[in-house]
Amino acid sequence: MATAIPKITLNSSRDIPFNRLVLSQSNVRRVKSGLSIEELARDIERRGLLQSLNVRPVLDGEGAETGSYEVPAGGRRFRALELLVKQKKLAKTAPVPCVVREAGSAILAEDDSLAENVQRVALHPLDQFRAFRDMLEKGMSEEEIAAAFFVAPAVVRQRLRLMTVSDKLLDIYEQDGMNLEQLMAFSISDDHARQEQVWDIVSQSHNREPYVIRRMLTEKTVRASDRRVRFVGLDAYLGAGGPIMRDLFEADDGGWLQDPAVLDRLVIEKLHAAAEDIRAEGWKWVETALSFPWGHTRQFAEINGTEVPLSDEETARLEALHSEQETIEAEYVQADEYPDEVDARLGEIEQAVLALEERPLAFDPADMARAGAFVSLDSAGTLQVERGFVLPEDMPAEPEETDDADSADEHVHHPHDRHDDDSTGQGYQEGEGDNIAPDVEPEEEDGIKPLPDRLLTELTAWRTLALRDAFASNPHIALTELLHTLVRDVYWQTPGADCLEAYVREISLSVHSPDMPGSLPAHALRQRNEGWKHDLPEDEDALWHWVDGLDDASRMALLAHCLSFGVNALYERMPAYGAVSQRSVTERLKRADRLASALSLDMVEAGWQPTVENYLGRVTKARILQAVREARGDEAVERLAHLKKPDMAREAERLLDGSGWLPEALRTAGGAEQVPVETATVDEGMEAIAAE
């Protein structure tokens, strides 16, 4: 005969007036940090009490019930009700649903209190996301959902965004096959097929970090911070039907543009429209490009323009800006730093003053009819127009010289003419492939081999440009280097060994990386050069007297500027029996190192940073890992070591961004030591979702 299973009896429940309830000292929740009693009170006010209190009769000294009840389980709800009573939103005698434990129960009050908090299971995040979606579909707005659960609307949008992930991936997440941070990374894209394809790839890899997922989903897109986007404007791209990807969980710098073809079409159209406006000024020709190579105007002559004078209104505006700037600076002269709004205003004033002081030039229409202009984008994504350049064939014919002595002079070889027009060495012009080293460093089995010649030339071209800028800014060092070079030229004749060609002839930088023309040193040199060109007398015959009349500071600054064009810190591979030996190049680089040390040249401050295009995609995996190890430590290297080279280079670019790391060819002796910094943090996930 089967034994009957004993049946349990549930505790009775009944309504008890609130003023008959007291908080039990047996409640195990003692730490009040983070408890949102006010939010719970507002929620009870809106929807009522969803869960009863657990209470026990309060006994007197003789063990008789007093008519009051203590609350060992449900303390937060009790405090929320208490707050509503204090706010007079709930009557003191309002009945409160309670589950009553009999007096003298073998179950301790602490046992009930602990069980209520421990036994409950937080809602799975996916259930919450789906609930938000259902509420939205049934008519509640995002703002109403946010208000109901006391969160910002952005939080609701974030969690609704997770429902755009493929159902297949949601199922994997539900079964704990991926974590929340990975799911958040997939929400950046609406393409379910691509999401599933990326998961198939990363699930078979050791590296499933969220940043890898984001990178794979955005690898064929364009960042909204790209100069092309800043040029045409994001609204124009969206207006043309271009889709955009946004990351609601991470700072995305404006998102990613998914259709580069639409963006490029808009850029070309706007550049061409700007070129037509420039051509309408009366120029013979206008060339357009996203950017032109450094030194692209070298073979052109230039026509002179006259600065357009300030109007009375502009003069008054400039004086008012200067007056406001002086007033602000005087007010905060004792302050350690400006308040944010004041600092922002000073920045606006500086930009406005600069716009007024950088006057446009007016040109003679007859000169314009044989000259042209270059139209491109600068590194900030603004239009850059260079006017007044004349092709050699459009220059007026010079009268023929008949003096025999002058004709004979044409055949005299100047001792410094060894570089002719291409001072980077024979064979370094693109397209003349005999002496150009491979563009990408070949993989090696063991150790790290020297960098390819062409890459080393590009790196040292960048360094030469930055060195020129620093040189031109330090007249004392410039004069010292000039005197040193001249003395060496008189007493120690070593052809090609100087890093300063003191006669002075500009050293061509025809081999360079694409980012160099838009760099900070390039901009500074252009601005400095334009400033001196503006100040020079129009008549060359008056030049000597003009120079003679300069004050000492101006003479030194002009000397440093002119000498800077002859600074040569280029690495070159010389032919075996050329006029300049490879040893001379080595000596030149040593002297360039000394000059860089004297100038405290910092290539990081100059704006160079490693990218796939200018370094990482051009060297071996071993060098990439070496760079990451030096900058970010061994842990970061372990995250990259298994990647294929293209992926490794792209991820290394992200890791090295802001690290201050430099390849050896760009480091300055005696400068800041290259030390590892803390390992880059992995993309942080969303905060854990709390449940009541």
Dump pLDDT digits (tens) for 544-565. 777 777 888 887 888 888 888 8
Those residues whose C-beta lies under 8 Å from the C-beta of residue 309, and which sit 6 or more positions away, are 359
559 or 483: whose pLDDT is higher?
Answer: 559
Q: Kindly state the helix (H) or strand (E) to which residue 267 belongs, with its residue range.
A: helix 260-279
pLDDT score at 662: 93
Residue span(s) of the chain under CATH 1.10.10 come to: 125-258
Task: Quote the percentage of the chain above a pLDDT of 90.
Answer: 15
Those residues whose C-beta lies under 8 Å from the C-beta of residue 352, and which sit 6 or more positions away, are 317, 321
CA dist 271 and 287 (Å) reads 10
pLDDT score at 673: 42
Quickly state the pLDDT bin for 683 (edges 50, 70, 90): very low
Q: Determine the average pLDDT of the residues in 88-100.
A: 92
pLDDT score at 276: 92
Average pLDDT value for the chain: 78
Q: Alpha helix (H) ranges present in 360-422?
A: 365-368, 404-409
Quickly state the pLDDT bin for 483 (edges 50, 70, 90): low
Taking Cα atoms as reference points, which of 474, 455, 497, 437 lies closest to residue 664? 455
Those residues whose C-beta lies under 8 Å from the C-beta of residue 213, and which sit 6 or more positions away, are 182, 185, 186, 198, 199, 202
* In the predicted structure, residue 489 carries a pLDDT above the cut 60: no
pLDDT score at 426: 32
Q: Determine the average pLDDT of the residues in 333-344.
A: 84
CA dist 479 and 415 (Å) reads 22
Phi first, then psi, for residue 637 (nearest 5°) are -65, -40
Q: Kindly state the helix (H) or strand (E) to which residue 71 belongs, with its residue range.
A: strand 65-73
Taking Cα atoms as reference points, which of 692, 685, 626, 607 lies closest to residue 249? 685
pLDDT score at 427: 33
Least confident of 114-128, 279-293, 602-616: 114-128
* In the predicted structure, residue 31 carries a pLDDT above the cut 90: no
CA distances from 587 to 242, 570, 582, 603 (A): 54, 11, 9, 21
* In the predicted structure, residue 139 carries a pLDDT above the cut 90: no
Least confident of 7-11, 234-238, 347-351, 637-641: 7-11
CA dist 511 and 39 (Å) reads 65
CA distances from 115 to 73, 92, 110, 320, 573 (A): 9, 29, 8, 72, 79
Q: Please report, in angstroms and rounded to a whole number, the separation of the first and last CA atoms in the chain.
A: 47
- The winner for highest mean pLDDT among 8-22, 110-124, 146-160, 361-375 is 361-375
Taking Cα atoms as reference points, which of 406, 409, 458, 417 lies closest to residue 437? 458
Least confident of 299-303, 331-335, 686-690: 686-690
648, 597 contact by CB (below 8 A): no
CA dist 48 and 538 (Å) reads 87
Q: Tell the residue number behind the tokens 């073809």, with chain if given.
A: 261
**Can you read off the two tokens belonging to residue 535?**
């100040």
Please, what is the Cα angle at 557 between 533 and 605, to 5 degrees?
Answer: 95
Those residues whose C-beta lies under 8 Å from the C-beta of residue 564, and which sit 6 or more positions away, are 468, 469, 471, 472, 478, 525
Task: Quote the percentage of the chain above a pLDDT of 70.
Answer: 82
106, 19 contact by CB (below 8 A): no
Q: How far is CA 528 from the centre of its chain?
A: 27
* In the predicted structure, residue 685 carries a pLDDT above the cut 70: no
Quickly state the pLDDT bin for 121 (edges 50, 70, 90): low
pLDDT score at 86: 92
CA dist 596 and 593 (Å) reads 5
Note the pTM of the prediction, 2 decimals: 0.48
CATH class of 12-119: alpha beta
From the candidate CATH numbers 1.10.3470, 2.60.120, 1.10.10, 1.10.260, the one assigned to the domain spanning 125-258 = 1.10.10
Quickly state the pLDDT bin for 680 (edges 50, 70, 90): very low
Phi first, then psi, for residue 487 (nearest 5°) are -65, -40
pLDDT score at 359: 77
Least confident of 53-67, 259-273, 279-293, 504-518: 504-518
CA distances from 505 to 456, 510, 589 (A): 23, 15, 18
574 or 463: whose pLDDT is higher?
Answer: 463
Rg (CA), the chain: 37
pLDDT score at 502: 56
Least confident of 79-88, 272-281, 388-397: 388-397
Residue span(s) of the chain under CATH 3.90.1530.30 come to: 12-119
396 or 599: whose pLDDT is higher?
Answer: 599
pLDDT score at 415: 35
- The winner for highest mean pLDDT among 141-155, 252-266, 400-414, 426-440 is 252-266
* In the predicted structure, residue 513 carries a pLDDT above the cut 50: yes
pLDDT tens per residue across span 624-659 = 999 999 999 988 888 888 888 888 998 899 889 889
Taking Cα atoms as reference points, which of 500, 518, 312 lies closest to residue 416? 500
pLDDT score at 691: 33
pLDDT score at 406: 43
Total Cβ atoms within 10 A of residue 625: 20
* In the predicted structure, residue 481 carries a pLDDT above the cut 80: no
